[in-house]
Chains A and B, each alone.
Chain A
Amino acid sequence: MINQHPLITMSAIREDRLDILKTRLETIRINLLNSQMAEAPTEFGKVSTLHYGRWVILSRESFRDEPAVPVGIRLVLTTNYDGIGNNHCDYHLTELVTKLTTYIDDVYECCAGYPEPGERTEESRKNFLKKGIINTSAFYNGAPGRSVGQIHQEDALHQHIWNFLQNNKWSETTPAVEIHRAIRQEIDSRPEFDWSKEKAGVQGIKWPELIAYGLLFIVMLPLIILWVIYLFLFHELWDKKVTLSQSELDDAKINELKKVEDLFPQNQFTQVAVLKPGFARKLNFRIWMLRTRVLASYVFVKGKLLNIPTIHFARWVLIDNNKHVLFYSNFDGNWEQYLGDFIDQSGWGLTAIFCNTVKFPRTNFMGVLGMIPGMPMHFPGTKFVLTGGAYDEEHFLAWSRSTQFPTQVWYCPYRHLSIKNVNNNTMIRNELREDLTEEQAQLFLKRF
């Protein structure tokens, strides 16, 4: 099983070359879009380890709120990649600078410190990118263990079986197990699907780690309660009410974001927020990052992040001396659905993380009461349950849109597959090799 990893590298843009850089990124974006629309191979597709990737320009303009420290104009490259070999990051960077050499040179010669034309080698390019690498605080993968190659293979398998089912007439009385067997025979007769004879590794929930986490949580509970009360009394109560609504957002900015949205049924989201001042809020944010990191690798391994079933990859990254946070997501459907899912499925989880950033809609107990299973949205006569924060729908959506900033180039390697399709295709591959009961075989056939 190949694991997926996040890469993020940040470089200072030379101010005198900013306009050139913007033009070049736009050209890359248009070329990519045109190739994808024509279903033609893309430059990015040559990087065998690359899932999603994007370039964004991060500057003062990207921030809705006053940054906590002065920020320059930076180019941020993020990729989600397949970890191959012992030094997987190095392997991936080698692929990037050798397969995308022209793009890398075009883009990074607009950044400070990039090697001069005569000094550009695989090593010097890699070293430049390495210098800008920062740590990802929490990382989520909707299909753990699935490499880009595997996702494409399993897609082809699904399509082949789908066609096979269409091209054969099955009588209504044919048992499902028989059809299942016929499919297996068909696939076995095709050498191009030899790889499917080996079952795919699928990560399950890691129970021992999860139980250890649960025990630790119980042991820590008194401390956690004290911590929540402290934050409530000395921080949350003093938060100002936020009333910014969606209609009040800047039209030009929203239109710039929408220009590249909904071109096909997947979208990207890039956001930057400023952490609230003071040690307590920063510590609280890091506690939640730790928790998200733990759960993302032990529990959110079956295609759902905090119950949200539409995310391929997501990450949180602390930058600028841990004073600002970047949030990235690659998801199915459109912005409205995505944010709606966030509120409906895990408003409290989101509230707990983002309430530590400035001008987030006012919260009640930082959303943590949502950790108690079965908690209703509100008790009669009290507002201190699941209200405020992300549940303050109108103001939350406005917060979310206004802290989002434009993505210059976005690469999506399998734009015709939803994350549910990706996971379903793996199940098809694995169940194909199992001896199923009639009932199981019926459910197997429902996957097409």
Chain B
Amino acid sequence: MTALELSEIQAYLLSDYKEMGYSKYYLMQVKDAAATKSFLAAIAHGITHAEATITNTCLNIGFTSNGLKQLGYNETNMHSFSREFREGMVTAHRQRLLGNFESSDPSNWQWGGPANDRIDLILMVFGKDEATAESFYSELEQKFESALSVVHTLDGKAMPNNREHFGFRDGISQPVIKGSGLPASGNNNDIEPGEFVLGYKNEYSVYPDTALLKIAQGKPELLEDNPEGRADEQTKVKYKDVGQNGTYFVLMQLQQNVDGFWEFMKKQSAETDEKKRNEEATALAAKMMGRWPGGAPLVKYDKDPGVEVADDNFNYLKEDSLGNKCPFGAHIRRMNPRDVFEESPQKVSLSLTRRHRIMRRVRSYGEDFIGSAENHKPGGEVGLLFGCFNANISKQFEFLQYTWGNSPKFKRLYADPDPLIGVREDPENKLGQIFTIPQATTNRVITGMQSFVKVKGGAYFFFPSITAIKFLATI
């Protein structure tokens, strides 16, 4: 097994920083390219890498393709970054893939959209609490005042027990990167590094597309040759690899309509007794999620255990091949079909699933509010800062969002988008949007599905290795 070069990789890929109670993401614009490069040189050693001892604060940095251009990144070199990264999240085709329409249309976004200020880079500041994060940021600010300006700030926090605002425990099923030194997870979650880090082999045993330096600029000698051995055809000199130990990061701000979510669930119940009605609403929400609020998987728990159960050790083939426990359309079954994908044999399903995983890095914003059938009126706007790392945005994040999330044709279903992330406000479909719950005899069908999540901003970032940050300071 290839060991990862941990001291080169930004730590947020390998740690969810849950001990960091508060985070501030600064979306910034380059004012002065030369000053920005000096800033990069000054902070490169301070970027939290995966071997660093984490104390009270963490610091990570990512760039948009605009940002690299602002620094003077050569156009030809730029072209070897993945198309998704180069084009960014806002193109007509990508809007269709991601389903960002109606009130999630990029033209309505607060940041990252066509009407918003250009974003060049993201500085992610983490602290064990808000005050620590703030004071750490103030220190940094002095170093970049002349170089960068802040376009938008996103405050985030880790909520108790990893709950998100709808009230569900989040992030239970996470990949573990082989060679990262972290304990193996088992249950198909141990994934080849090339699915998450450039410069390593992926689940197909090949190297993911990486950012080759085809035209020398800056100090290429800082960088390693690309591991695949790609070389200039004439000179036979191997290209340096800017991507090595780097990764791509997807960030989306998702506003959650907690009240709408729970009101909808309650409306589906015919019960007049409030307690029973709330129980039915919770059971329905759990069917859509695939887990009970505390995280207990439906495959193993037919009743809400009422406690935190961060259990990921289950499959579907033996336990629930007909979907009577966990519907095929449930969020967690779509995003990770485990050993039952289509009609593929178990082994094929498992390997196919491993090729479409993302490393989720989610923080919540707004009031510290954990919704439930009983209590679902938060004060003010609440939502998720959805983030994920992947080596191939198209095969991983976009595939999950479109093919397994938005597509109403998942498996043999007819008109079932992902109930949490795939529902459109104004669907274009004969059958409307439904959620099918397999039962012993007739399926239960929830019709008129509504969207409870609104995209308010989004962007794709390149997260370079520590060495690549030093290199970028020299271009």
Residues of A within 8 A of B (CB): 37, 39, 158-159, 162, 165-166, 170, 172, 174-176, 179, 243, 245-249, 251, 254-255, 258-259, 261-265, 307, 309, 332-334, 336-337, 340, 343-345, 377-378, 387, 391-395, 416, 418, 420-421, 424, 441-443, 445-448
**What are the residues of chain A within 8 A of B205 when measuring CB–CB?**
377-378, 387, 391
Q: Are A445 and B442 in contact (CB under 8 A)?
A: yes
Q: Does B171 contact A (CB under 8 A)?
A: no
Interface centre among B82, B395, B447 (most CB of A within 10 A): B395
Distance in angstroms from A196 CB to nearest chain B CB is: 18
**A247–B392 CA distance with the chains assembled, in angstroms:** 11
Given A265-B409, A336-B403, A344-B351, does the pair A448, B443 have CB atoms closer than 8 Å? yes
**What are the residues of chain A within 8 A of B356 when measuring CB–CB?**
340
Q: Are A309 and B342 in contact (CB under 8 A)?
A: yes
Distance in angstroms from A439 CB to nearest chain B CB is: 11
**What are the residues of chain A within 8 A of B402 when measuring CB–CB?**
262, 334
**What are the residues of chain B within 8 A of A170 when measuring CB–CB?**
441-442
Given A166-B445, A337-B399, does the pair A262, B97 have CB atoms closer than 8 Å? yes
Q: Are B342 and A261 in contact (CB under 8 A)?
A: no
Q: Are A394 and B208 in contact (CB under 8 A)?
A: yes
Partner of B442, one of A179, A261, A336: A179
Q: Are B209 and A394 in contact (CB under 8 A)?
A: yes
Q: Are B441 and A179 in contact (CB under 8 A)?
A: yes
Q: Does B355 contact A (CB under 8 A)?
A: yes
Given A309-B342, A377-B205, A420-B409, does the pair A243, B93 have CB atoms closer than 8 Å? no
**A344–B353 CA distance with the chains assembled, in angstroms:** 10
Q: Are A39 and B403 in contact (CB under 8 A)?
A: no
**What are the residues of chain A within 8 A of B230 when measuring CB–CB?**
243
**What are the residues of chain A within 8 A of B348 when measuring CB–CB?**
344-345
Partner of A394, one of B206, B436, B443: B206
Q: Are A248 and B443 in contact (CB under 8 A)?
A: no
Seed contacts A172-B439, A265-B407, A333-B403; 9 additional CB < 8 Å A-B pairs: A159-B430, A170-B442, A246-B83, A262-B97, A309-B342, A334-B402, A340-B395, A391-B204, A394-B204
Partner of B430, one of A246, A254, A416, A441: A416
Nearest B residue (CB) for A302 = B343
Q: Are A247 and B83 in contact (CB under 8 A)?
A: yes
Q: Does B4 contact A (CB under 8 A)?
A: no
**What are the residues of chain B within 8 A of A378 when measuring CB–CB?**
205
18 contacts between A and B (CB under 8 A): A158-B414, A159-B430, A159-B431, A243-B230, A246-B209, A247-B211, A251-B83, A264-B428, A334-B403, A336-B398, A340-B352, A392-B204, A420-B411, A420-B412, A424-B412, A442-B441, A443-B322, A446-B323
User: How big is chain B's contact interface, by range?
Assistant: 35 or more
Q: Are B394 and A336 in contact (CB under 8 A)?
A: yes
Distance in angstroms from B241 CB to nearest chain A CB is: 12
Q: Does B207 contact A (CB under 8 A)?
A: yes
| Interface of chain B residues 341 through 396 with chain A (CB within 8 A) | 342-344, 348, 351-352, 355-356, 394-395
Q: Does B79 contact A (CB under 8 A)?
A: yes
Type the 1/0 row for B330-345, where 1 means its CB is closer than 8 Å to any CB of A. 0000000000001110
**A421–B431 CA distance with the chains assembled, in angstroms:** 13
**A448–B86 CA distance with the chains assembled, in angstroms:** 42
| Interface of chain B residues 166 through 198 with chain A (CB within 8 A) | none
Q: Are B82 and A247 in contact (CB under 8 A)?
A: yes
Q: Are B438 and A262 in contact (CB under 8 A)?
A: no
**What are the residues of chain B within 8 A of A391 when measuring CB–CB?**
204-206
**What are the residues of chain B within 8 A of A394 when measuring CB–CB?**
204, 206-209
**A377–B86 CA distance with the chains assembled, in angstroms:** 32
| Interface of chain B residues 289 through 336 with chain A (CB within 8 A) | 322-323
Q: Are A166 and B447 in contact (CB under 8 A)?
A: yes
Type the 1/0 row for B202-228, where 1 means its CB is closer than 8 Å to any CB of A. 101111110100000000000000001
Q: Are A421 and B322 in contact (CB under 8 A)?
A: no
Q: Does B474 contact A (CB under 8 A)?
A: no
Q: Does B108 contact A (CB under 8 A)?
A: no
**What are the residues of chain A within 8 A of B204 when measuring CB–CB?**
343, 391-394
**What are the residues of chain A within 8 A of B409 when measuring CB–CB?**
265, 332-333, 418, 420-421
**A391–B436 CA distance with the chains assembled, in angstroms:** 36
**What are the residues of chain B within 8 A of A258 when measuring CB–CB?**
93
Distance in angstroms from A388 CB to nearest chain B CB is: 10
Distance in angstroms from A12 CB to nearest chain B CB is: 33
**A345–B211 CA distance with the chains assembled, in angstroms:** 29
Q: Does B440 contact A (CB under 8 A)?
A: yes
**A63–B429 CA distance with the chains assembled, in angstroms:** 37
Nearest B residue (CB) for A257 = B93
**What are the residues of chain A within 8 A of B429 when measuring CB–CB?**
416
Q: Does B80 contact A (CB under 8 A)?
A: yes
Nearest B residue (CB) for A448 = B443
Partner of A174, one of B83, B438, B441: B441
Given A248-B79, A262-B402, A340-B395, does the pair A392, B206 have CB atoms closer than 8 Å? yes
**A39–B430 CA distance with the chains assembled, in angstroms:** 9
**What are the residues of chain B within 8 A of A377 when measuring CB–CB?**
205
Distance in angstroms from A20 CB to nearest chain B CB is: 27
**What are the residues of chain A within 8 A of B81 when measuring CB–CB?**
247
Nearest A residue (CB) for B440 = A442
Distance in angstroms from A377 CB to nearest chain B CB is: 7
Partner of A344, one of B83, B206, B355, B399: B355
Q: Does B408 contact A (CB under 8 A)?
A: yes
**What are the residues of chain B within 8 A of A424 when measuring CB–CB?**
412
**A445–B412 CA distance with the chains assembled, in angstroms:** 13
Q: Are B355 and A340 in contact (CB under 8 A)?
A: yes
**A340–B228 CA distance with the chains assembled, in angstroms:** 22
Given A309-B343, A332-B409, does the pair A247, B440 have CB atoms closer than 8 Å? no
Distance in angstroms from B349 CB to nearest chain A CB is: 10
**A336–B81 CA distance with the chains assembled, in angstroms:** 18
Q: Are A344 and B352 in contact (CB under 8 A)?
A: yes
Distance in angstroms from A192 CB to nearest chain B CB is: 18
Q: Are A337 and B403 in contact (CB under 8 A)?
A: yes
